[in-house]
Amino acid sequence: MNSIQTIILAIVEGLTEFLPISSTGHLIITSSFMGIEKDEFTKLFEVAVQLGAILAVVVLYWKKFFDFSRWQFYVKLIIGVIPAIILGFLLSKKIDELLESPLTVAISLLVGGVILLFVDNLFSKPIIEHESQIKAPRAFIIGIWQCLAMIPGVSRSGASIVGGMQQKLTRKLAAEFSFFLAVPTMFAATGYKLYKAYKDNPDLLHNHANIHALLLGNIVAFVIAMIAIKFFIGFLQKHGFKLFGYYRIVAGIVLLLLIWKGVIQ
């Protein structure tokens, strides 16, 4: 993976991680276009570059993350991430197989797009407007919704935001809680992936070019994610999910056509 490919993938990660359009799906599509999707380091990079996006959330919401007097906040995040940790560990091999399937991404984009067209009307009467009102059972259920994103193309943020709205959170709060929940979820996923890479193929992390790519990619992803998060919250409050739904449907159809024509294998 060269520097240009690194920057492109990092920009895609930063733009899509917190939008309900599937960062994993877009990374798979982008790496396929560049012909590096089968490379072992590319697979590692697509997970490890999430660290930059995680840092963007922590920086933007630093008062929330570093207010140690409100221990309930941390408890809710731990409870919310439990389903993803358990299922991620149990289904690790199956998830890795799905990550190599553009067809799975295309179908998930289409189905998720259709769902997003109706989300605003389905959950139009929220009663929870502040994070302190989210109780542990609701956090756990949102965490279960988040597990749908183990299917490439579903979107972690999209699944957890819809889960939050189903649990009566406002759109803004559902999006913010999705961001908060991303921190332990993505940190655990990235840490596990790096551990497996070091254990199974230590040369990947002993290569200076690979370390440079990881550093560069995370810096770019951090900057782009900061911008994307600020944009998304404002846009979501004003316009809802329909535009993202239409985008997913178009992207899914285009991807299916590319697969059918053999452009993407």
167 vs 138: CA distance, rounded Å: 6
Tell me the pLDDT of the chain averaged across its residues. 90
pLDDT given for residue 55 in this prediction: 94
Report yes or no: 17 and 228 within 8 Å, Cβ to Cβ.
yes
Average pLDDT over residues 242-250: 95
User: Where residue 10 falls among pLDDT bands split at 50, 70, 90?
Assistant: very high
Nearest to 126 by CA among 172, 159, 158, 169: 169
pTM of the model: 0.89
Letter string b/e over residues 62-97, b meaning 16 or more CB atoms within 10 A of that residue's CB: eeebeeeeeeebeebbebbbebbbebbeeeeeebee
pLDDT given for residue 12 in this prediction: 96
